[in-house]
Amino acid sequence: MIINQGGQVADPELLVFLRVATYDLETKKMVMVGSALVRVFNPGKKKGEGLLHVGGHQLRLHSGMPNTKGLSQMNSTDLDTNPVVPGCSLLIRLLPYSEDPVPAPSYPSGYYKSESSKPTVSENRLFATYEAEHKINPRSEKDMILRLQQFENVTNSGGSDIQLTNWLLEKLDIKKQGVTELAGDLVLNRCIRYRVKVGLKVEI
């Protein structure tokens, strides 16, 4: 995504508001997984100046919308008090404009600043559980799309990576789906799955 390609003087307080959507298999509706706010510029040496927040950033996703009274008063911290979406983050890069885009480095390379997204103890347990059940959990975006097609009994399912991507993009396109209402937030309580082998411990 190119921002300010015309080279106009940008507001040093410029923020980018990002939202991640998905398709809920149970409700058969598109829902918002979470949101993130990121500053485009770091403060410059003089008031009113800013330096591009260059580099890769791993952003935690928060449920809901920013707690603000209006767009003109929005701050980069307006999502901080919203519930965190467990085990879910977003990788972005902020780079100066270039005619030849630079390929994105891999996550294990350490390129992305991820201090604020360091997993909690609970999230590490969540990742371990997902890994332990790798036989039933999708291992890639392609596997997830194929599962969705199977769930919906899509005729002529499968195809090339490009065909699968186009099918998913059309599935997530609200206008093409004829949806007249805004997508709601993912209900985080429904993300909990009871495992018989582990059991449940309750303290009162």
- The reply to whether 114 falls in a domain is yes
- The reply to whether 47 falls in a domain is yes
- What is the 8-class DSSP label of residue 136? T
- The reply to whether 21 falls in a domain is yes
- Under the banding of pLDDT at 50, 70 and 90, the label for residue 183 is confident
Query: Higher-confidence residue: 54 or 6?
Result: 54
**How confident is the model over 168-172, as a mean pLDDT?**
82
Sequence-distant (6+) residues with CB within 8 A of 83 are: 62, 63, 64, 188
Q: Are 84 and 60 in contact (CB under 8 A)?
A: yes
Residue 178: per-residue pLDDT: 65
- The reply to whether 188 falls in a domain is yes
CA distances from 25 to 68, 126, 128 (A): 32, 20, 23
Sequence-distant (6+) residues with CB within 8 A of 40 are: 3, 10, 14, 15, 16, 50, 52, 53, 94
Max mean pLDDT range (1-10, 55-64, 120-129, 144-153): 55-64
Give the domain range for residue 184: 15-137+173-199
Residue with tokens 């005729």: 155
Cβ density class 56-77: b for 16+ within 10 Å, e for less: bbbbbbbbeebeeeeeeebeee
Residue 107: per-residue pLDDT: 92
- The reply to whether 165 falls in a domain is no
Q: State how many domains the chain has.
A: 1
- The reply to whether 9 falls in a domain is no
Q: How far apart are CA 152 and CA 159, in angstroms?
A: 16
| Mean of per-residue pLDDT scores for the chain | 82
The model's pLDDT over 95-135, given as tens digits with 9 standing for 90+, comes to 888 888 889 999 999 999 999 899 988 888 888 877 776 66
- The reply to whether 129 falls in a domain is yes
- The reply to whether 5 falls in a domain is no
